[in-house]
Structure 1
Amino acid sequence: MEAIRFGIIGGSGLYKMEGLSETREVLLDTPFGKPSDAIVTGLLDGVPVAFLARHGRGHSTLPGDLPYRANIWAMKSLGVDYLISVSAVGSLKEVMAPRHMVLPDQFIDLTRHRAGTFFGDGAVAHVSMAHPVCAALSEVLAESHADCGLPAAALHRGGTYVCIEGPQFSTLAESRLYRSWDASVIGMTNMPEARLAREAEIAYATLALVTDYDCWHEGHDAVTAEIAIANLMHNAANAQNVLRACVRRLAANAPASKAHDALKQALVTPPAAMPEATREKLLPLLRKYR
């Protein structure tokens, strides 16, 4: 199969990629289990793309139960080296209103029960996460938003995404605490996704779709899934257009990314010293270092 460089992970409300032609479903069984769903590959305006519904097309998997390692391993094995993560989030800032989009550049990881690394079993690596988002890919997303003629004020560049375990929404005390940290948005799915993408040397960026103000905001003391999904679906068409414009831009001139060499200075255990079974399990990640 020809390598597919551009991948999209769709979150709540984004279960398929409109405009994808010549589609086929790729069913993979990775060393870390099965991905959330079949990966749908096809052409988007003539450009090969791989799409995965993060929660499954029927939205049947909780954030804490998602097979994050299998999802990223599967994308990497297909050749993906630019990955756009679309995620529903709550806003922690007044200016980031429901139905706006945010391009966060930092994360605070408050998850507790998720496997967050590909390494172990005789293989040690410590990738840098100081800048967890590929700035170059995020810039392409911002330019793509402008390409679509969407209001500039409805896009916010930069900010911190607090990732909680869920599946419950925040308490009022928690929401106020995150605001005191100057965090921007809150969600449940981008960690350890971003960590794993960095270990896999994939340029990763988040397109966050604001659904609500979380419970800190007057009039939003009780966030409901119904409100969140209604706002998300309103934004889904705009998100599809931004993604399509982004893929066109990437195909024309994919930017260099520091993420593509993330393991170069991070591998502590030389591949030759790893147990054979571990090397095989990590082959998509280690291929250029063997």
Structure 2
Amino acid sequence: MTAPIGVIGGTALAELTALEAAGNPAPASTPYGPSSGPLVCGRFAGRDTCFVMRHGPGHRLAPHRINYRANIRALADAGCRQVIAVAAVGGITPAMRAGRIVVPDQIIDYSWGRAHSFHDDPAGGSLDHIDFTEPYDSALRTAILETARRLDLAPADGGVHGVTQGPRLETAAEIDRMERDGCDIVGMTGMPEAALAREAGLDYACCAVVVNKAAGRSGGSAIHAEIEATLTRGMANVERILEQLLPSL
């Protein structure tokens, strides 16, 4: 039996509109608490798929309040072995223009205070220091990129994903620092999600949409208007990618 594909929906991707759910979706129960939102499992583009809303119904969970461990554990318990994480991000470097699809290949984690491991409970078993040199699965990254190219979406192949604490947006000085550190895009939810997926033995990759220029790269107060103008179109392109990609995995 083919394992289902896990999809984690971010900002403006609260559902997969073509996902035919089997049964009545409900938050998954895990040893780490319930998942952020209902774990919706069914058929999408002819492929078994499990979808979870990262921020929960109504986009109510701030990035530092998301139960990342429960979401990853729920997908693993549902039989998923590959997970595609969708994220809305800000563009730092000039190539990361609004509306562009980015498939990052590296992460710098600036977040703090989040439950970031399955192995931090002394009563929970042996400690495991995962190899996180390459935080995203290369084969899954390649599959996303090739699909986006077939759809003429000109995706960015690679980039460093800087993960901040949120929920506020960053200052111009913070973005300047992140660019000096080598970051190309900035988001708030890429960690500890990626590391937890590695601990759980899941192949994980991110399909990000640049929805605005980061602080100091655009017109300040105009940033929210830029986000709103870009989100809908960008997430529609993500769904197009998923519809073409998932049957081939």
Which residue of structure 1 aligns with residue 84 of structure 2?
A: 84
What is the TM-score normalised by the length of structure 2?
0.94
Aligned 8 A contact 1:214 1:220 in 2: no
Which residue in the other structure is 2:136 paired with?
A: 133
Secondary structure at the aligned position of 2:128 is classed as: coil
- 1:222-252 Cα offsets, whole Å, 9 max, x none, are 46444323311121111101011110120xx
* Range with bigger deviation, 177-186 or 14-23: 14-23
Q: Counterparts of 2:100 and 2:129 in 1: how far apart (Å)?
A: 35
Deviates more, 1:17-26 or 1:180-189: 17-26
* Mapped partners of 1:237, 1:159: distance in 2: 22
Alpha-carbon distance between aligned partners in 1 of 2:2 and 2:122, rounded to the nearest angstrom: 28
Query: In the alignment, is the contact (CA less than 8 A) between 1:116 and 1:196 conserved in 2?
Result: yes
Of structures 1 and 2, the larger Rg is shown by 1
Q: How many residues align?
A: 245
Q: Is the 8 Å Cα contact of residues 4 and 47 (structure 2) preserved in structure 1?
A: no
What amino acid does structure 1 have at the position aligned with 2:111? T
Deviates more, 1:120-129 or 1:131-140: 120-129
**Which position in structure 2 is the counterpart of 1:249?**
248
Q: Please report how far the alpha carbon of residue 22 of structure 1 lies from its aligned counterpart in structure 2 after TM superposition.
A: 4.2
Match of 2:7 in 1: 8
Q: Provide Cα deviations, 1:155-183, integer angstroms capped at 9, x if missing partner.
A: 10111000000111111111111111221
Where does residue 152 of structure 2 map in the other structure? 150
CA distance in 2, matches of 1:77, 1:105: 26
After superposition, residues 193-272 of structure 1 pair within 5 angstroms as 193-217=193-217, 219-222=218-221, 224-250=223-249
Structure 2 unaligned blocks of 5 or more: none
Q: Secondary structure at the match of 1:86?
A: strand
Q: Which has the higher strand share?
A: 2
Deviation (angstroms), 1:4: 4.0
Contact kept, 8 Å, 2:20 with 2:44, in 1: the verdict is: yes
Q: Look up the SS of the partner of 2:80 in the other structure.
A: coil
Q: Deviations over 1:81-113 (max 9, x none)?
A: 100000000001111100001000110001111
SS of residue paired to 1:37:
strand
* Separation in structure 1 between the aligned mates of residue 166 and residue 177 of structure 2, nearest angstrom: 16
Q: TM-score, normalised by structure 1?
A: 0.81
Q: What is the aligned-residue RMSD (CA, Å)? A: 1.5
Q: 1:162 matched to which residue of 2? A: 162
Task: State the match for 2:188 in structure 1.
Answer: 188
The reply on whether 1:31 has 2:31 as its aligned counterpart is yes
Gaps of 5+ in 1: 251-290
